Structure 1
């Protein structure tokens, strides 16, 4: 019983690795702006009929381009997250001055002003 489970586990690992390589190659093909549609179609046809050999050849032929496209995709993702991240302020005094301006304009309440002031000063609790 144990050898059967071992072989099943080994084949399952190979199957998921095979799927990962196919998905990786197809994802990289669609990121590649330099390859035209016919080349992409040829790679996909080869992936269908000779998947393992095609995956290895693709990585050998396009290795440098794969790394560049991965880097570009990751840098775009970081830039998108940076848009949502609040900008770091110069000092707590600037944060408190901005909060006071909001309070004076009636945009925030006194409690919200106290919370922002406490946060700018680095206090964990609002009453501290």
Structure 2
């Protein structure tokens, strides 16, 4: 340990951190190339070859040329994923009006209202709820 001073350790850690950071950026750019809808196949292939063959220059040029729209594509992807998740939850809960649930949540709400009004006993409510959930 005497032959490797503390300052060299810090420099090594910094270069390792920058190297890992660059790899994350490279993967982010490759993902963005494939996700981009405004580019054709040849454009994607050209950018991919440029980024792989000349990695440092390719990444910098890509960030300069198309970096501003990367955020837009990220936002669109997040909105699509959020909409798909919400649609899945609606279908799973049965409130989407589709064939998946058939309005089971609405039926449970009606049963609870009938129970609160005193039209159903606790036993009748539990039996009807089990029947709906089965």
Q: What TM-score bracket applies, with the shorter chain setting the length?
A: 0.5 to 0.7
Partner of 2:74: 70
Partner of 1:33: 37
Partner of 1:108: 130
**CA displacement at 1:52 relative to structure 2:** 1.9
**CA displacement at 1:105 relative to structure 2:** 6.9
**CA displacement at 1:96 relative to structure 2:** 4.7
SS where residue 130 of structure 2 aligns?
coil
Partner of 2:103: none
Task: Select which of 10, 24, 28 maps to 2:14.
Answer: 10
TM-score using structure 2 length: 0.63
Q: Deviations over 1:49-95 (max 9, x none)?
A: 221221121122113431221111010121123232667xxxxxx96
SS where residue 35 of structure 1 aligns?
coil
Task: Select which of 22, 27, 48 maps to 2:26.
Answer: 22
Partner of 1:47: 51
Root mean square deviation, CA, Å? 3.0
**CA displacement at 1:15 relative to structure 2:** 0.8
TM-score using structure 1 length: 0.65
Gaps of 5+ in 2: 96-106, 116-123
Partner of 1:60: 64
For residues 60-99 of structure 1, the aligned pairs below 5 Å read 60-83=64-87, 84=89, 96-99=109-112
